[in-house]
Structure 1
Amino acid sequence: MNWALVAAQCAYAFGCGELASQRLETLGLALARSIPVPKETADSPRRVGRWLHVMSLAFDVGGHSRLVQRWIENDVSGETHDLVVTCMSEFDFPELLEAVAARGGKVTMLGSTPSHIERARRLREIAWARADRVVLHAHPFDIIPTMAFGISGGPPVILLNHADHLFWMGAAISDQVINLREASEDLCVRLRGIDRNAILPIPLPLPAPNLDRASSRAKSRQRLYIPANALVFLTIGSAFKYRAIGDLDFVAMARRLLATLPDCHLVAVGPDAKSSGWAELSRDFKPRIHALGDQRDLAAYHAAADIYLEGFPFGSITALLEAGLTGLPFVRLPRTAPPPFSSARYALSVLDQPADTDVYFAQAVALAKSSEARRSQGTAARDAITSFHCGDAWRAKLAAFKKAAPPAHSIYPVQSTPLPDAEDRFWAQFLMNRPNPHPLAFMAEHARARKLHPHVDFTLVRTAMAIGKGSSKLSPLVWWAMGRHCTSIVSRALEIYMRYVGWRFQYRGQRRARLLRQSD
């Protein structure tokens, strides 16, 4: 089981040429059969109208945990929503805790249970005892849900496909896969062999009325030291999502934009002044670059901005939708990015997607030079997003999904297809740009954490270091491997040294100590 966990983590972090693994899923199902089956009795029937949301990790930054929170908040049907977190013993996200409590639910943390088998057993018991629907929001590497739900029976299991472009576990146990966009469904059918799909858009809160937008805008700009009459671009996303791949170089485009529009400012939430590429940009265009790092409350940055720029090569869909919901016009990432990001996105299709980075740049400049275009496009985007992702519109889609949801849980065969070469190369390069150790060091680190003993192939390590890509990240692995494999040699050398040489220094030290005592 531990090696399966390491393999899933490596496939998720660095890619493996496929988006699902029949071998890992089969292993997870075998482990599932070793876990006791809960007994359902007549005096403890499963409750109707009770959802169980399953997460691996929950954070107050980013769109993943917010999606779970907003799903629970937006469901006003009176149904109960419980939450189980498999890999944490506590978390600091009060809005999510409040959402669960408001719907009469209970939060269960399994992270303090050392055994993954025991966590899977507890998750299975909770689901069979309380839920009539299970929704998996788990991280792609989490094998616990596969072990918990790897047998037929119990409530139906619905997997929310929040990592559509990455390898994930759960294909064999998913009675239905919820996709957040149509391109995700295409990947599921084409590369994961899953035809049990539905589409449910990302839930968002209704846009709040801004009764004093001018005052909010002025205060936000004053705090950022931005002149009141400046034109402000805003972009939001994790720093690694902006690292260039081929022609998809956001920092280069931003440099070109700042040079063309000498009075504009760029606010970047996610990257900071030390992030790759941003340090030079901040130095060359100071003080018009504001690289702020991760921020929790985004309302002030929305208020300060005139135009939102979707980052690339990897877009942040939730951040884009939230910006559009405030009435900001936006420029979508270029179509030269591979699926699912280069595909049409329902509400976002009201604004044309640029064909490449040159058209992206031209659209940004055109918006900068026309206040009327900014107003009309911002209004169109806000209305389209509201009509698809918010309030009664989203709840109607949830109600339709409930009616079509599977009635029972079964197990399914896994038939994955390798990624096409172009997509595989793109995602391999992108994943290597993430702030992870080298894949070999990453694997060894996670194996050691689970008290496994990986064999290090020094020929492979030397080859990887010679290639150069990420070779600096291999140093910890080399030192660890040398220490592990050379411990007996070092111990023997020290023994010989002390036997034939070291005793002399030991004798001299003892003689000096004796003379000092005599002199006292």
Structure 2
Amino acid sequence: MVNQDFLDLWREEGLRQIPQNFEVFRSLVAQTRDFTEQGKYDVAAVYAKIAASYADFKHCGFFVSPELEHLLIEIGQKTITKKSYFNPSKFGSKTPENILHVATCMQYLGGHSRMLLRWIKQDTERSHSLVVTDEPREAIPKSLKEAVSNSGGHIYVLRETIGSLISWAKRLRQIAASVDLVVLHIFEYDVVPIIAFANKKASPPIIFSNFNDHNFWLGVGISDVVANLRESGKRHSEKHRGVETKRNALLPTILEPTQRILSRAEAKQQLGLPKNSILLLSIARAPKYKTIDGISYADAHVSLLEKYEQAFLIVVGSGYRKDWSNAIEQTQGRIIPYEQNPDTALFLQAADIYVDSFPFVSNTSLLEAGSYGLPLVSRYPYSSQACELLGADMLGLTGNLIRVSNLEEYVLVLSRLIEDEEFRLNLGEATRQKIIETHIGINWQRYLNDLYQLATVLPRLTEPLLTIDQMCLGEPNVFLPSIYGLDLNLEHLIRNNLKLMPFDQRLYHWFRLAKKTKLSNSTERLLWLKDLMPEWFIQRLKKFLGYYQNPEF
């Protein structure tokens, strides 16, 4: 599906985009530095967040910014007085009992949200509290609230209080005063924890959960241990983020034990499929099924489904896509897309073979499918191991995941799995057993206990030396704009962050951006007026209007 010629096009696009993105990022860092030097720390923090967001959405040729993190640490050290820090002598080599998880938000369909929930439910010997930096209490899933409460912990929502990024960082610092260890489950651009834990000598041990290992993120400069979910992520952290070997650890994704309620035939019947059908299944968010060079994810399966009339492909999460319509018609409707659905058990119980999303792999979905005893197939079109982070790998998948390099090999592998039932079932069972041995229950707990031990015995991370951000145009950097890049301009990011700015900056940018925008109706004008309101006020207004519904995993 993606041949060398098209990889060359991706490379050309990366060589064109990355230097441009890098220059924009440098200008944002320069503005952050200017505001910091002027003592305008609230504004500087917002500009730092915009810079990090830009580097996340528009790859700039690096995965960490020492310059930006240094500025955030400086902001934290100058705005959070040492008097507000607790006594570092309380932290020794003892086993931690009170864990504080810090998350940007708890998206109910996100893999990191599910991992946090399962982490708390599995680790029953400790108390777990949660701080959410960028989401209202009403948006936190009920199951997560119950898990925290049952562990003896508490939930804190920073944006419930009137304030700014700096004041919320101070609040986080105060909350952390009574805990033994902090775990960061934060999004790439979340500046609040970086500011909060700027004084490392008086901070609890900090673990960074690296669930977005393919992206730029903030946090290297304050994290005593980086917990990578997979081997490729661990190697990447050391090579591309500068994480010391002794601080670079593994913590596999945790899964819940699988409970098969239905037989395959019964599940297929509930989905309206023939009992003797062969069901190929894929589950991921819609952006992971990106059409490449005019060939959609559905198109890649047409020849296979034409060859095997009993074969069906269900894709959960893609939703309706216009560019799939021809493939659906060619296969007489045997390619069936579904919208995102947090409850995928019925599909997994019906499936015979699991096929990964493409070009953006979905490791968590692979693990969950494998836990049901499904053979797993994923595509890796890259010729270099330098791009290993762009492929699928997890500890529990090693030795059983089938990875193919091109579409022809993909069809051959799937053909064998369709034709050879014994091979299909044996591979699925081997996959299930390996996942149980690594990702479930007490087997996973051993990795967690080792991680806690490492974080408590290592000396606290010292403030890193300031180094200048460097752009890299090699692999995998050069491919990232085509795979993960978004068509997002800087003005859009600034507008999204207006509500976090002090009023004078908010008003300045509001007038500047409004002049460039044609407001054609009253609804658009009202939305623009909303941007003049501070973030804390917007959150309270949404709560009053019943905007949020309590989600469930």
Bucket of the pairwise TM-score, normalised by the shorter protein: 0.7 to 0.9
Aligned length: 454
**What is aligned with 2:66?**
22
Q: Is the 8 A contact 1:32 1:147 kept in 2?
A: yes
Give the Cα separation in 2 of the matches to 1:438 and 1:51. Answer: 37
> Against the structure 1 CA distance between its residues 419 and 75, is the aligned structure 2 distance closer, same or farther, given a 3 Å change threshold?
farther
Deviation at 1:482, TM superposition (A): 5.7
> Against the structure 1 CA distance between its residues 247 and 313, is the aligned structure 2 distance closer, same or farther, given a 3 Å change threshold?
farther
Residue of 395, 409, 412 corresponding to 2:464: 412
Deviation at 1:271, TM superposition (A): 0.4
Q: Is the 8 A contact 1:21 1:414 kept in 2?
A: no
**What is aligned with 1:362?**
412
Query: Are 1:5 and 2:56 counterparts?
Result: no
> Against the structure 1 CA distance between its residues 276 and 184, is the aligned structure 2 distance closer, same or farther, given a 3 Å change threshold?
farther
Give the Cα separation in 2 of the matches to 1:240 and 1:165. Answer: 15
Give the Cα separation in 2 of the matches to 1:83 and 1:280. Answer: 47
**What is aligned with 1:353?**
403
Q: Is the 8 A contact 1:157 1:409 kept in 2?
A: no
Query: Are 1:323 and 2:369 counterparts?
Result: yes
Give the Cα separation in 1 of the matches to 2:411 and 2:311. Answer: 14
Higher mean Cα deviation, 85-94 or 171-180?
85-94
Gaps of 5+ in 1: 458-476, 485-520
Alignment of 1:94-105 (within 5 A): 94-105=142-153
**What is aligned with 1:503?**
none
> Against the structure 1 CA distance between its residues 267 and 124, is the aligned structure 2 distance closer, same or farther, given a 3 Å change threshold?
same
Match of 2:73, SS?
Answer: helix
Give the Cα separation in 2 of the matches to 1:201 and 1:414. Answer: 32
**What is aligned with 1:49?**
97
Give the Cα separation in 2 of the matches to 1:302 and 1:270. Answer: 14
Alignment of 1:440-459 (within 5 A): 440-449=490-499, 450=501, 451=506, 453=508
Residue of 268, 271, 282 corresponding to 1:235: 282
Q: In the TM superposition, what whole-angstrom CA distance separates every residue of 1:193-224 from its partner, at most 9, and x where no partner exists?
A: 1112101111112233x3x532xx44533343
Give the Cα separation in 1 of the matches to 2:380 and 2:466. Answer: 33
**What is aligned with 2:26?**
none
Higher mean Cα deviation, 395-404 or 367-376?
395-404
TM-score relative to the length of structure 1 = 0.81
**What is aligned with 1:506?**
none
**One-letter identity of the residue aligned with 1:137:** H
**One-letter identity of the residue aligned with 1:147:** I
**One-letter identity of the residue aligned with 1:106:** H
Residue of 190, 193, 199 corresponding to 2:250: 199
Deviation at 1:239, TM superposition (A): 1.0
**What is aligned with 1:135?**
183
Give the Cα separation in 2 of the matches to 1:283 and 1:162. Answer: 38
Q: Is the 8 A contact 1:206 1:390 kept in 2?
A: yes
Match of 1:381, SS?
Answer: helix
> Against the structure 1 CA distance between its residues 45 and 326, is the aligned structure 2 distance closer, same or farther, given a 3 Å change threshold?
closer
Give the Cα separation in 2 of the matches to 1:158 and 1:310. Answer: 30
Q: Is the 8 A contact 1:191 1:418 kept in 2?
A: no
Q: Is the 8 A contact 1:272 1:278 kept in 2?
A: no
Q: In the TM superposition, what whole-angstrom CA distance separates every residue of 1:57-85 from its partner, at most 9, and x where no partner exists?
A: 10211311001111111113x11111100
Alignment of 1:408-487 (within 5 A): 408=460, 410-413=462-465, 418-432=471-485, 434=486, 437-449=487-499, 450=501, 451=506, 453=508, 481=516
Deviation at 1:344, TM superposition (A): 4.8
Deviation at 1:133, TM superposition (A): 0.6
Gaps of 5+ in 2: 1-44, 520-553
Higher mean Cα deviation, 53-62 or 246-255?
246-255
Residue of 169, 172, 176 corresponding to 1:120: 169
Give the Cα separation in 2 of the matches to 1:369 and 1:413. Answer: 59
Query: Are 1:36 and 2:81 counterparts?
Result: yes
Match of 2:476, SS?
Answer: helix
Give the Cα separation in 1 of the matches to 2:348 and 2:304. Answer: 20
Higher mean Cα deviation, 7-16 or 335-344?
335-344
Match of 2:56, SS?
Answer: helix
Deviation at 1:446, TM superposition (A): 2.6
Give the Cα separation in 2 of the matches to 1:167 and 1:112. Answer: 28
> Against the structure 1 CA distance between its residues 376 and 75, is the aligned structure 2 distance closer, same or farther, given a 3 Å change threshold?
same
Q: In the TM superposition, what whole-angstrom CA distance separates every residue of 1:259-314 from its partner, at most 9, and x where no partner exists?
A: 222221111111011x3633443344342122111001110010111110011111
Percent identical among aligned pairs is 30
Q: Is the 8 A contact 1:335 1:343 kept in 2?
A: no
Write out the 4+ residue segments of structure 1 that deviate beyond 6 Å after TM superposition: 44-47
Q: Is the 8 A contact 1:36 1:121 kept in 2?
A: no
Q: In the TM superposition, what whole-angstrom CA distance separates every residue of 1:401-446 from its partner, at most 9, and x where no partner exists?
A: 22222354543346565344342232111233x5xx5324433433
Of the two, which has the highest radius of gyration?
A: 1
> Against the structure 1 CA distance between its residues 410 and 82, is the aligned structure 2 distance closer, same or farther, given a 3 Å change threshold?
farther
Q: Is the 8 A contact 2:298 2:328 kept in 1?
A: no
Query: Are 1:160 and 2:212 counterparts?
Result: no
> Against the structure 1 CA distance between its residues 186 and 335, is the aligned structure 2 distance closer, same or farther, given a 3 Å change threshold?
farther
Give the Cα separation in 1 of the matches to 2:265 and 2:167. Answer: 54
**What is aligned with 1:170?**
219
Deviation at 1:328, TM superposition (A): 1.1
Residue of 226, 232, 241 corresponding to 1:183: 232
**What is aligned with 2:340?**
294
> Against the structure 1 CA distance between its residues 365 and 456, is the aligned structure 2 distance closer, same or farther, given a 3 Å change threshold?
farther
Give the Cα separation in 2 of the matches to 1:341 and 1:45. Answer: 38
Instruction: Tell which has more relative contact order, 1 or 2 (C-alpha 8 A, sep 6+).
Output: 2
Query: Are 1:312 and 2:361 counterparts?
Result: no
